[in-house]
Amino acid sequence: MEEQEKTEQHPGEKPKDEALKNKEITEKTKKEEKETEIKKEKKPFNLLSSIREVYDKHYKVLMVFPFIILLLAIFSIAFQTITTGDFINRDVTLKGGLTITIPSENQIDVSALQEHLSRQFPSNMVSIRKLKRAGSDTGIIIDSDIGEADSATLGLFISEIEKSLGTKLEREGYTVEFIGSSLGASFFKETVRALVIAFILMGIVVFITFRVFVPSIAVILAAFSDIVITIAVVNLIGMRISTAGIAAFLMLIGYSVDTDILLTTRLLKRKEGTEMERVLSAVKTGVMMTLTTSIAITVGMIFTESDVIREIMIILLIGLIADLMNTWIQNVGILRLYLEREHKKKLAKNEA
């Protein structure tokens, strides 16, 4: 096929000697590959190989994307922190809010009330629990994130509860309390401190395993980027984070590390095949790992009726997508840059 194209482009040209011809062919191939790259949608057959080509040859350019996205994520989190004073949207379990206690001897249809209130106050979080004494219901507790200052909404909220229950609530009939966060003020400080130590320990373990500095940093950077990008995306889609969400963010560390270690091992410890072949073998295994997990998570997200599980699943899914980019572009890029530099160093040494 190359032969054919060549003759098409250079009709009537006389054949040169073998060596020159071969050289020309390789040059042509390179040129043509650049062309296919441009017209890749027209030649679907070559799509995979051209993606592979870009992935192989232009990894330095590709590396710009994860870093741009990481920077954008950091900016958006910074912006969120400045405008709202908080780097995530915390829900009632993390921020605290309002607790209304309504004693009632009658059976209350909690799910109907929950549904009604959620529909009337779509931007607020409502959670209802039953109070029991001696085995029978004695009332309900409604937790919501309506603020202390917002007395107009509170009045509206109470009247909606009355509407749903079908009874008038006397002022003595219920109590309203403002509750603080279930995790306490120092929780975030402690978490951040624990995470910093966690990242340092991770780095030390990776360093002991591979005995090289740059790849250890790359693993930590990938895990850090995963979490930061996920926080930014969660903020952008306006999701509120509960205590379950915090657990989900921590779970990302585990999922992130698995693929990064796989990549680092295949690239630094193995000697078979070319560098690119080893990267591609790691991609094959690693993408399979992430895909399997993502499919299981997506199914869980669709079929769960629990908001808590859904929250965990959404965060994990966003994190896993971010991890695909951070492992296979960012981490691969850093490792290949590192190997290239090492290679040059070795060459220089040999020459000297």
Partner 1 sequence: MKLKKIFTNARVIIVFIAIILAVVAIFPNFSNDGVAIRSIKPNSAAGISGIQNPKPTTAPMQREVIKAINNKPVKTVADYYKFVSALKPNMTLQLKTNKGIYKLTAREKTEIIVLNETITKFVNETIEANETINGELKQVNKTITKAIQVPKTETIGLGIVEDIGLEVYEAPKTNVRKGLDLQGGVRILLKPEKKLSEKDMEFLLAGMKERLNVYGLTDIVIREAGDLSGNQFILVEIAGGNDKDVESLRQQGKFEAKIEDDVVFSGGNDIKYVCRSADCAGIDPSSGCGQSDDRWICDFRFSITLSQEAAQIQAELTKTLEVVSSQSRNQYLSKKLTLYLDDQKVDELSIGADLKGKAVTDIQISGQGTGMTRQDAAFDALKNMKRLQTILITGSLPVKLEIIKTDSISPVLGEEFVRNALFVGLLSFIVVMLAVLVRYRRFVVAIPVIFTMIAEVIILLGVAALIGWNIDLAAIAGIIITVGTGVNDQIVISDEALRGQASAASGLKERIKRAFFIILSAYFTNVFAMFPLLFAGAGLLKGFALTTIIGISIGILITRPAFGDVMEILLKE
Under the binding rule (CB under 8 A), the answer on residue 261 touching partner 1 is yes
For position 68 contacting partner 1 by CB under 8 A, the verdict is no
Q: CB of residue 96 vs partner 1: minimum separation in angstroms?
A: 7
For residue 170, report the phi and psi dihedrals to the nearest 5 degrees. -75, 155
Under rule CB under 8 A, residue 324 binds partner 1: no
Number of residues that bind partner 1 (CB under 8 A): 82
Query: Per-residue contact track with partner 1, 17 to 46, x per CB under 8 A?
Result: ------------------------------
Single residue of 214, 243, 280, 337 touching partner 1 by CB under 8 A? 243
Q: Are strands 126-133 and 136-144 parallel, antiparallel or unpaired?
A: antiparallel
- Interface with partner 1, residue 254, by CB under 8 A: yes
Q: Which is nearer to partner 1, 21 or 132 (CB)?
A: 132
d(CA 146, CA 150): 7
Residue from 175, 342, 344, 347 that binds partner 1 (CB under 8 A)? 175
Q: Could you tell me which stretch among 22-30, 227-235, 285-293, 339-347 binds partner 1 (CB under 8 A)? A: 285-293
Minimum CB separation of residue 153 from partner 1 in Å reads: 14
Q: Is position 159 an interface residue for partner 1 (rule: CB under 8 A)?
A: no
Give the binding range for partner 1 (CB under 8 A) out of 27-35, 74-82, 188-196, 337-345.
188-196
User: Distance (Å, rounded) from C-alpha 312 to C-alpha 241?
Assistant: 9
Q: Is 247 in the site for partner 1 (CB under 8 A)?
A: yes
Q: How far is the CB of 121 from partner 1 (least distance, A)?
A: 19
**Closest CB 229 distance from partner 1, rounded Å:** 18
Burial of 143 (0-12, 13-18, 19+ CB in 10 A): buried
Q: At what angle do helices 275-303 and 307-325 cross, to 10 degrees?
A: 160
The closest of 162, 137, 153, 55 to 97, measured between CA atoms, is: 153
CB of 54 to partner 1, least distance (A): 24
> Binder to partner 1 among 76, 80, 124, 127 (CB under 8 A)?
127
Nearer to partner 1, 133 or 349 (CB): 133
Show the binding pattern over residues 199-238: x = contacts partner 1 (CB under 8 A), - = does not.
Answer: x-xx-xxx--x---------x---x---------------
115 binds partner 1 (CB under 8 A): no
Name which position in 22, 26, 49, 285 contacts partner 1 (CB under 8 A).
Answer: 285
CA separation, residue 22 to residues 14, 31, 313, 315 (Å): 14, 14, 55, 53
- Does 149 engage in binding with partner 1 (CB under 8 A)? no
**276: which DSSP letter?**
H
**Per CB under 8 A, does 250 bind partner 1?**
yes
Residue 253 binds to partner 1 (criterion: CB under 8 A): yes
Does residue number 135 form part of the binding site for partner 1 (CB under 8 A)? Answer: yes
Distance CA 62, CA 70 (A): 14
DSSP track, 293-349: HHHHHHHHHHH---HHHHHHHHHHHHHHHHHHHIIIIIIHHHHHHHHHHHHHHHHHH
CB 303 within 8 A of CB 30: no
Strands 126-133 and 97-103 turn out to be: unpaired
Please identify which residue in 304, 321, 324, 337 interacts with partner 1, judged by CB under 8 A. 304
Q: Is residue 114 near partner 1 by the rule CB under 8 A?
A: no
Stretch that binds partner 1, among 2-10, 14-22, 71-79, 178-186 (CB under 8 A): 178-186
Which are the contacts of 320, defined by CB distance < 8 A and separation ≥ 6? 255, 290, 293, 294, 297
Do the beta carbons of residue 73 and residue 231 sit within 8 Å? yes
Helix boundaries (H) for the chain: 2-9, 18-38, 47-57, 59-62, 64-84, 92-95, 110-120, 151-165, 187-210, 213-236, 243-268, 275-303, 307-325, 332-351
